[in-house]
Homo-oligomer: A and B are copies of this chain.
């Protein structure tokens, strides 16, 4: 997706430790036209799959997910990062964030993730695959089927892609970062 790759090269910022900051257009400030282009590309890539629900995880996945849901006319559920007081019938698992260096609990109501669901999971980043693993856990608990996963950006050097291939999960990333060595962005 050239428009995304150009934007990453233009506005993305690199920090030591393999951190790519895209917070001026993706995950703090968001460019709604780019988000719509991203959503349309996900719809194109996953055309023909038997999907009845879009699932994402708060917070950065919500914008692309709601746009995919709108284009596909499907409900969108976001996995929450804490257990809300008012949420019963809840499935939860623990995810480790390397970026933030901590564990956090993610949860989803089993009213909105059920054995009838065929899920397209959408998120901003695929890095180590820890969030994706949490989604796999929650889908297993609920009996839902993961049909595919779509990420705006994959960090290929952090092996989340290997993890998903090992689990036979189809995924697509709209831009793939091969390396951030020496604080230079190298895209595939």
Which has the most chain B C-beta neighbours within 10 Å: A28, A100, A112? A28
Within 8 A of B (CB), among A86-125: 86-87, 99-101, 108-109, 111-112
Q: Is the CB of A24 within 8 A of B59?
A: no
Within 8 A of B (CB), among A48-81: 58-59, 62-63, 66-67, 69-70, 73-78, 80-81
Could you say which residues of chain B place their CB within 8 Å of the CB of A84?
100
By the criterion of a CB under 8 Å from any partner CB, how many residues of chain A are at the interface? 40
CA distance A36 to B70 in the complex (A): 8
Q: Is the CB of A73 within 8 A of B28?
A: no
Could you say which residues of chain B place their CB within 8 Å of the CB of A173?
none
Which has the most chain B C-beta neighbours within 10 Å: A69, A74, A81? A69
Could you say which residues of chain B place their CB within 8 Å of the CB of A80?
28, 59
Could you say which residues of chain B place their CB within 8 Å of the CB of A75?
29-32
Known: A24-B111, A73-B32, A112-B29. A85 touches B66 (CB 8 A): no
Within 8 A of B (CB), among A1-41: 15, 19, 21, 23-24, 28-33, 35-36
Q: Is the CB of A109 within 8 A of B33?
A: no
Could you say which residues of chain B place their CB within 8 Å of the CB of A63?
62-63, 66, 76
Could you say which residues of chain B place their CB within 8 Å of the CB of A99?
85-86
Contact sample, A vs B, 17 pairs, CB 8 Å cutoff: A19-B85, A24-B111, A28-B78, A28-B112, A29-B76, A30-B75, A30-B78, A32-B66, A33-B70, A58-B58, A59-B80, A59-B81, A62-B66, A63-B63, A63-B66, A85-B99, A85-B100
**Which A residues are within 8 Å of any B CB, using their own CB?**
15, 19, 21, 23-24, 28-33, 35-36, 58-59, 62-63, 66-67, 69-70, 73-78, 80-81, 84-87, 99-101, 108-109, 111-112
